[in-house]
Structure 1
């Protein structure tokens, strides 16, 4: 079965660690097996100067820093194995970074939603395909334009946003990014953007700049759910959203039930056609089209489906957003259908 997955790191370590979802307590403090990692949008690279997750006892673990970040919003980044495998839930985040596309420094310190994070760590998720328990193994710290900070927790294919903050712009000495007075600041920024964005991405940035309110807008939730209709038997559906979340629905239903969801950016569907052929489809939504569709159908509290329709004996795919009055075909969505396994 085809699926998305984050970077895989094979560790030849002997760890005193619990099974997914299990907890060890030191005194009254529950301990979980997780590591921190960083994230930033591909279009808007950042330089993470310092990131620390603090525990209630004042100790901390660092988010991998002193690096340029543009791995994708909500995606797992670097992995540093430091300290004990089992750690308490962090209570506070402190973060400093530089935004290359804005030529700005940001800095902030924020209390984290400890109760919610603890509940997620304790419950974990159940893999919708295998029925096996999976623990949350990553805390992802993301930096976006306009000082937006998002914090996600990841368990297998599932990524859930647990907090978001806005950091203020702060003055910092330029040598915190590069301590070389022979390289002009503007020249260095241009060089970094060219390396991370490529010629096409840099041309787009030159045309559009940094749209205001883009990433806060990605966080808006709507009452909708995916629906597969037509010729074929669905086996698994993965959704990646503009706000960095990932969701997985399998034989046993969703890994995490959601009453509302952000706008999806991509979908991956596995199904079996009526003739028994295993098929998969990758669906890439056009950003302007799908946000306009959700804005039109977001009236009231009624839940509406985003329908993936299997047509022509289950061999072709179309998508539409629907409610009790309208069917809005998403005609600009790019859909790739291929034979599965």
Structure 2
């Protein structure tokens, strides 16, 4: 009986401590560059339904799915438990409303776990030391189809918290903005579609529609790693920074960690740091998804290598994707730059 009482008290104490956990963070909002949105009203509340802060209203959102957007002076120090958000999706010509609980236990776990980031301190081997850090940005991402994703991010580290689904709603344009031209709903949507959505995307929408499934495809995790072949034995890999189309990212400096396979979304870009050089490669999403899907179909459950092979003096980087004995060369990636020397 005594053991049961002690166990119960410890459990209550544990949960009480968790509820009191307070960590400082800023709140940002973003959308894909090609499919901008704008917040109408939005806010986070805690487990007791008390207001924490608003979702920033900073105008049109198009910082990109991998960007954090403007902070707008919003933030908090209490674990959020609920989000209420209304926004306009210009490419879809509609308003969305989200009213959803958040996985506060997961948020708390990610906050507490933190991550390692590169400091300015130098270790005995002349390398910058990795030190513990805490996530300090909570980002709300809005993609076509009412898809809303929440991330926590820090320096070169970003993790998805959850994916939520907003529903189409009605908002009178007169309540949304100062309607000097007295536009009705249809006129408002048509004029802002032309102003906010890039011409190339307008043409793409007219021809093929909006690729609603794409952002969920980004979230599909594959087991892969980067295999980097330095040009010669004198040049060593000192860091690999992988930013993914899913919006997540990580930075690896230990060779033993870089050699491990990880469950992650397809890469958006990867920056590889060598002893003398560092290179940045940007991947084409459609090509990479197609290659990964093809290899997984032929080799179900097998891990994948993205092989990076520098040419002489790092003038170019050849990129291929390998699974077991099958290797496919990528054609549509871009070498954004080679620096150092």
Alignment of 1:237-248 (within 5 A): 237-248=240-251
Which structure 2 residue ranges, 5 or more long, are not aligned?
1-15, 119-127
Greater helix share, structure number: 2
- The secondary structure found in structure 2 opposite 1:220 is coil
CA shift for structure 1 position 171 = 2.4
Q: Say yes or no: does 1:81 pair with 2:73.
A: yes
Alignment of 1:34-49 (within 5 A): 34-49=25-40
CA deviations on 1:99-150 (whole Å, 9 max, x unpaired) are 1111111112111111221111112111155312221001101111011010
Which structure 1 residue ranges, 5 or more long, are not aligned?
1-24, 273-277
Q: Say yes or no: does 1:286 pair with 2:276.
A: no
CA shift for structure 1 position 152 = 0.3
Supply the distance in 1 between the matched residues of 2:18 and 2:336 (Cα, whole angstroms): 53
Match of residue 126, structure 1, among 116, 131, 151? 116
- The secondary structure found in structure 1 opposite 2:167 is coil
CA shift for structure 1 position 197 = 4.3
Pair 200,141 (structure 1): closer, same or farther in 2 beyond 3 Å: same
1:70 corresponds to: 62
Supply the distance in 1 between the matched residues of 2:74 and 2:31 (Cα, whole angstroms): 22
Alignment of 1:183-262 (within 5 A): 183=183, 185-186=185-186, 188-231=188-231, 232-251=235-254, 259-262=262-265
Supply the distance in 1 between the matched residues of 2:79 and 2:100 (Cα, whole angstroms): 14
Alignment RMSD, CA only?
A: 2.6
- The secondary structure found in structure 1 opposite 2:108 is helix
The answer as to whether partners of 2:315 and 2:338 remain within 8 angstroms in 1 is: no
1:18 corresponds to: none
- The number of residue pairs the alignment matches comes to 309
Supply the distance in 1 between the matched residues of 2:316 and 2:214 (Cα, whole angstroms): 33
Match of residue 90, structure 1, among 72, 80, 83? 80
CA deviations on 1:12-64 (whole Å, 9 max, x unpaired) are xxxxxxxxxxxxx9895111011111011101011211121111232221110
Pair 185,66 (structure 1): closer, same or farther in 2 beyond 3 Å: farther
Larger Rg: 2
- The secondary structure found in structure 2 opposite 1:68 is coil
- The secondary structure found in structure 1 opposite 2:331 is coil
1:14 corresponds to: none
CA shift for structure 1 position 261 = 0.5
- The secondary structure found in structure 1 opposite 2:23 is strand
User: Higher relative contact order by CA 8 Å / sep ≥ 6: 1 or 2?
Assistant: 1
Q: Say yes or no: does 1:31 pair with 2:50.
A: no
Supply the distance in 2 between the matched residues of 1:50 and 1:237 (Cα, whole angstroms): 39
Match of residue 56, structure 1, among 47, 56, 68? 47
Alignment of 1:262-341 (within 5 A): 262-272=265-275, 278-298=276-296, 299-312=299-312, 314-340=314-340
2:123 corresponds to: none
Which segment drifts farther, 72-81 or 307-316? 307-316
- The secondary structure found in structure 1 opposite 2:291 is helix
- The secondary structure found in structure 1 opposite 2:289 is helix
Supply the distance in 1 between the matched residues of 2:184 and 2:333 (Cα, whole angstroms): 42
Pair 132,253 (structure 1): closer, same or farther in 2 beyond 3 Å: farther
Taking structure 2 as the reference length, what is the TM-score of the superposition?
A: 0.82
Supply the distance in 2 between the matched residues of 1:314 and 1:70 (Cα, whole angstroms): 33
Which segment drifts farther, 127-136 or 113-122? 127-136
The answer as to whether partners of 1:42 and 1:196 remain within 8 angstroms in 2 is: no
Match of residue 107, structure 1, among 72, 84, 97? 97
1:143 corresponds to: 142
